[in-house]
Amino acid sequence: MSSILSQDEINALLMGVMDEQEPEASPTECFLSESDVNTKTRYVGAFQHIVKYDFRRPNKFSKDLLRILKGFHDNMARLFSGSLSVYLRQDVKVNLPYIEQHTYQEYIDDCNERARHYILSFVDDQAILSFDIDIAMLMVEKILGGQGEDVFTSRQDLTDIELLILRNILDKLFVHQKESWGEVMTELPKIISVESNPRVIHLVQPNDIVLKMVFELSIGDVLGTFTYCIPYIAIDHVLSQLIDSQYSRSKHQFLKKEAEMKENLALAMVDISTELGRADVTVDDIVRLQIGDILPLRTKKTEDVLVKVGGLNKFGATLGVSDKHYAIKISQVFAN
């Protein structure tokens, strides 16, 4: 699609704006000539494919891209849950219930006042990780040997020791994030600075689009959150790598599952039988059958016999003898 609108496209867009802004006029207030009606009808019919686009809030993250990023960070959350459970010696669950694009101003306006905001080096740009003070204090209390009770206070600042302990926890998160992103993320995210007031952080322009991810972290009966803010410009140049990485992972998982299925099926026992031939007999003939009687079959001795696997016709084969045992030799394979 050309980046320059034609005159017809401009006229169609202007008519759409006029329809939205002008109130509906009564028949006595406004009259359209027949040529005007025909012109407008022609424009509407020719440009029905045109959709509204909000230049103040463009859609940067497509649904496919959001799905890929959610898959990466779901895996990160799962790995982080295991690490924290071992580190805190208590069951910890981390999940990603929310992932959506916002403007940077919207993200700042929604920031939790009781959170520490970490400015990170992310890929070739920067991102923000906001961690609730309450859940951070609970983890610090657990690591220092406490029971994790009565740690919720009104203070906004953390001590140097508490910040250091929390930084060690976040380092584990960054390791799992790089592991989940694979080759796309060449270096671990690193903490550049820490702020208590998000409004002093000027990461991108207010109207720039960012990815907002809200993680829920539960320790016992206590539930807290931490939030990731990743600007679109931070990953814009690696979008193709993200898509290729997801495709490679999906293909690898498919091949792995296929190999596992083949390995499991290889151990399954199935019944195999050979049908020598068929004959039409009456019930009276069957009643009179004696030892030594001969039943002529419709199959000639030079014809292939039918081999069934699990009751399904699978192979054609010739009769023979192998090592003093009756045997069959596969001559054809039937397509199912």
Among 110-114, 141-145, 234-238, 317-321, name the one with the lowest average pLDDT.
234-238
Rounded to the nearest 5 degrees, what angle is found at the Cα of 8, between the Cα atoms of 2 and 9? 50
290 and 178: one domain? no
- Binned at pLDDT 50, 70 and 90, residue 78 comes out as very high
- Region of 247 (left: φ > 0; alpha: ψ -120 to 50; beta: rest) is alpha
Flag whether pLDDT at 180 surpasses 80: yes
Residue with tokens 């959709």: 51
Interval 128-148 mean pLDDT: 85
Residue 117's CATH number: 3.40.1550.10
Q: Does residue 28 register a pLDDT over 50?
A: no
What is the pairing mode between strands 325-333 and 312-322?
antiparallel
SS3 at position 292: coil
Q: Are residues 202 and 97 in the same domain?
A: yes
Evaluate whether residue 145 is within a structural domain: yes
Tell whether 38 and 177 lie within a shared domain. no
Residue 29 has pLDDT above 50, yes or no: no
Does the reported pTM lie above 0.75? no
The answer to whether 104 touches 97, Cβ cutoff 8 Å, is: no
75 and 190 co-located in one domain: yes
Give the pLDDT mean for 224-252.
76
Whether residue 266 is contained in a domain is answered as no
Same structural domain, 84 and 227: yes
12 and 74 share one domain: no
Boundary-marking domain end, from 217, 252, 287? 252
* Residue 108 pLDDT: 92
> What is the CATH number for 328?
2.30.330.10
| pLDDT above 90: percentage of residues in the chain | 19
DSSP per-residue letters across 221-258: TEEEEEEEEEEHHHHGGGHHHHHHHHHHHHHHHHHHHH
Given a cut of 90, is residue 142 above it in pLDDT? no
302 and 232 within one domain: no
The tokens 């496209």 sit on which residue?
A: 9
Same domain, 110 and 137: yes
Residue 282 lies in a domain: yes
Q: Which amino acid, 187? A: E
- Asked if the structure places residue 194 within a domain, the reply is yes
What is the distance between the alpha carbons of residues 33 and 39, in angstroms, rounded to a whole number?
10
* Segment 35-51 mean pLDDT: 56
Question: Mean pLDDT across the chain, nearest whole number?
Answer: 80
Segment 225-237 mean pLDDT? 88
Q: Is the pLDDT confidence value at 2 over 50?
A: no
245-254: list long-range contacts, CB under 8 Å, 24+ apart.
Answer: 245/181, 245/182, 245/183, 245/184, 246/68, 246/71, 249/182
Whether residue 57 has pLDDT greater than 70: no
Same domain, 164 and 205: yes
- The answer to whether residue 58 sits within a structural domain is no
22 and 127 assigned to the same domain: no
Domain containing residue 30? 7-46
Q: Cα 150 to chain center, whole Å? A: 38
Q: How far apart are CA 203 and CA 199, in angstroms?
A: 10
Q: Domains in the chain: how many in total? A: 3
Cβ atoms of 212 and 111 closer than 8 Å: no
Residue 118 within any structural domain of the chain: yes
Lowest-confidence range among 32-41, 119-128, 182-191? 32-41
Whether residues 246 and 282 fall in one domain: no
